[in-house]
Each structure stands twice: as structure tokens, then as C-alpha cells.
Amino acid sequence: MIGYLDLWTGLSGDMMVGALLSAGWPEAAMRDVLAQIHLPEARVVIESRIHHSLVGLGIRVETASEPPERPYREVRRLLEASSLNPAVRGKCLALFGRLANVEAAIHGVRTDDVHFHELGATDSIVDIVLSVAGVAGLGITHLVCGPVPLSRGEVATAHGKLPVPTPATLALLEGIPVRWLPIEGEWLTPTGALILSGLVDRIGPPPDMRLLGIGTGAGTRRSPDRANIVRLFLGAESEGEGPAGGDSSGEGIGWISVIEANIDDMDPRLEVEAVRRLEDAGALDVFRTPVLMKKGRRGSVLTVLCRPDREEDLGAMILRETTTLGIRVRRELRRELVRWIETVLTPYGAIRVKWSRPGGHPRPIPEFEDLRARSRDAGVPIWEVDRAARAAAESSSPPGAEDE
């Protein structure tokens, strides 16, 4: 399932949950998730909100009492003690961990000493957990949004009045394309920025899809000339077309996780096997860089590139399959060519071809494993099979060729 967030004015946590509910996430599933995070004082009310004749859903979180702040370690303990699905719990912990690192850098304190104010409130915790669970509940495996809209002005916080966008919002959006709106006030909240920075896989134009549903979330802030809504398009990847994302140049910008570990005391044969298992488990790329460790010992830096949703599983696999005592994880924006796989028929048999579109021009690259297998079966050189596969690919009409 592909999801596209159409950000009209901005985003808040209650709007995101409303869009997920409007798109078909069952209310019963939402309340099951709420019961799993052990916040008995929290009550969620689903609201229908109208902005300029457009109807959307939003949620309101009611609490009997609210602590003025929550330290990061308390939020972490709350999530760790929850009975959430492990993948949802892991994603929520990663989001709040990212937030704690941002707040620590802004205020000059240690991560464990960070105290959340607005984002430590019960409603923000509920919004973030329900957003993560709702995306998983709808089966969304690839979430895209366009450049993030920002506004100007000021907002009252626990630290006094701050400029909009707030420092935390800007830090969370670092590296993400943004656009400015001619409106005042906080329309993109820190909760919304945290959700975008952690759940969106790619920033770019709407992906090609077979449209299956639309959900509309609505906020509480109102404007005389602008509807405060967010639309969530749900769809399936179109048959015979390139993957979701990418513009006419065939490029896209997406988040990628980089996991690294230093290894200096492992049998090289076992290290090679660990690399193979990481590749089989869904890593986009795995490589080792020879280095000189302390005391002149030879070692290597193991680097794994993966989609953010595979970060937790692959990180755990590195700790399990290698002798390293720790891993480093960071998020980076990667500009990449969109690519897709098609199968062509040659005199030597069927061969998969990976297509991309650099500069808008289709480019086929035959899969080497297929070339090797067909070459071995036919008893001919690999280059001969490669030439046949490229000729078959070039003579076909690649997806998107009619747009050239």
C-alpha cells in the first residue's frame, strides 16, 4: 500500500490520526492501541470538523490531570512497558529518541536529562503512537509527501514565546524540502514535524498509483481563507509502471538509515556470512571498509544501508551476528534514481532487467545472476547473453517511454 500526504497548510498529530481514521483505519483498532500504552487517564474523542465546507476528522485527547513535563526516560519507560506490537513500539521509541537528541542539542543537555513539555504531554504521546499504529494498521509500506509547508509568527511555549517554526520543528525538518506559506501562526506543530521526519519515506511529487481511498484530517486552527486539512491518498502501485515516487527526471529524495559497527576480532569467514544474511534480510547495501583500529589492530567498519522501517531489525541482527559491542545509527537524505524490474525473453531464456530513468531517459541493466545462470545453461559467454538481454530490453517499450 502506498500513501501520499497532501499537506495543504501543515500537520498536527490529531490531524494525522484523523486522516488515518477517515481513510479506513477502524476506530476499534485505534482504541485497542490506546489500551496498550497504559494511559488510563487518557480519553480519545473523535471529532468531525468542517473547514470551508470540507469535512475532515480529528481527535481530541481528554485527561483528568496532566504533569507539567515528562522526562525522556519516563516516556521511554512508558513505551517499553506497553503491550504494543513490537514493530510499532520500536518505531515510537525511535521517534522519541530522535526527539530527545534534537532537544538535547537545542538546550545543551544530555539526552537522558531532556524534559519534554508540549511533546511530553499525554495528547502528544497518544497522537504519535496512534499515528505509527495507524500507518501500520492500514498496511502502508511506502509513505510520501510533498515539500513541507511552513508559516511565520510566534507561539507561546513552556520556554516563553518562540518564533515559528520553533527550533525543535526546524531541527526535525533538517534536510527536508520546505515551502513557505503567506500565513501567520503555528500550522505545522512539533508533533507533526516529528511524524513527518520519522514516518515519511520520500519527499517528492505524488506517486503513480491505482487510487484505492482518500482520508481527510482536519485541525482545530481556523483561517478565513484556507482550509486547515491534510489529505491522505491510499493506492496500490500501478501494474507495469515504475515504483512509487520520482519526478520526470527519474529521481527521488528519500530517507535512508545508515548503520555502522567497528569489528576487529572476528573470523573473516563469519563476517562474510553476516554480510550475506544482512543482504538477505532486506539491506539495500552492505559493505566493509578496512581500517586500523587502536593499538594498530586491523579491523573493518561494517556499513549497512536500509530503509528506515528495517533499521531496528537489521541493527539487532548486526549485534547478534557479529562480535561488535555497539552500533551507530543515523538518518540521511539520499537522492536516488527510481528503479523497477521487468522480465524480457531472449534466445537463452527469461532475464530480469532493472530499469531506471536518469535524466528522463530509460536505461536497462540486466540482472547479473540471471545472465550467469542463462550463460551456464546455454554454454555461451556471459557477454553474449548480456547483449541479447539489452537488445530485447531496448526493443520493448519501457514504462514511461511514451512520456519522453
Q: In what order do the strands lie in the sheet with 339-346?
A: 339-346, 349-356, 363-366
pLDDT in tens, 38-53: 888 888 999 999 998 8
Q: How far apart are CA 158 and CA 202, in angstroms?
A: 32
Residue 340, phi then psi, degrees to nearest 5: -150, 160
This prediction has a pTM of 0.64
**Within-domain flag for 246:** no
Q: Is the pLDDT of residue 239 over 70?
A: no
Check whether residue 230 and residue 374 sit in a common domain. Answer: no
Check whether residue 262 and residue 397 sit in a common domain. Answer: no
Task: Supply 277's cell numbers.
Answer: 544474511
Check whether residue 265 and residue 158 sit in a common domain. Answer: no
Instruction: Provide the number of structural domains found in the chain.
Output: 3
- Among the three residues 336, 352, 367, which one is the final residue of a domain in this structure? 336
**Within-domain flag for 13:** yes
Average pLDDT over every residue of 23-28:
93
Check whether residue 69 and residue 206 sit in a common domain. Answer: yes
Q: What pLDDT does 204 receive?
A: 82
Check whether residue 48 and residue 173 sit in a common domain. Answer: yes
Check whether residue 100 and residue 40 sit in a common domain. Answer: yes
Check whether residue 161 and residue 306 sit in a common domain. Answer: no
- Among the three residues 236, 267, 297, which one is the final residue of a domain in this structure? 236
Average pLDDT over every residue of 385-392:
93
**Within-domain flag for 241:** no
Kindly state the DSSP code that residue 207 receives in the 8-state scheme.
Answer: P
Check whether residue 153 and residue 279 sit in a common domain. Answer: no
The DSSP H or E segment spanning 285 is: strand 285-292
pLDDT in tens, 41-89: 888 999 999 998 899 999 998 887 766 567 888 888 999 999 999 989 9
Q: How far is CA 314 from CA 228, 277, 292, 339, in A?
A: 39, 10, 25, 23
Check whether residue 134 and residue 215 sit in a common domain. Answer: yes
Domain span at 178: 2-236
**Within-domain flag for 197:** yes
HEC profile for 21-83?
Answer: HHCCCCHHHHHHHHHHCCCCCEEEEEEEEEECCEEEEEEEEEECCCCCCEEHHHHHHHHHCCC
> Residue 392: helix, strand or coil by DSSP?
helix
Check whether residue 165 and residue 22 sit in a common domain. Answer: yes
Q: What pLDDT does 263 receive?
A: 93
**Within-domain flag for 245:** no
Q: Is the pLDDT of residue 251 over 70?
A: no
Residue 381 binned pLDDT confidence (cut-offs 50, 70, 90): very high
Check whether residue 364 and residue 291 sit in a common domain. Answer: no
Check whether residue 266 and residue 398 sit in a common domain. Answer: no
- Angle, helix 268-280 to helix 311-321, in steps of 10 degrees: 160
- Among the three residues 284, 304, 336, which one is the final residue of a domain in this structure? 336
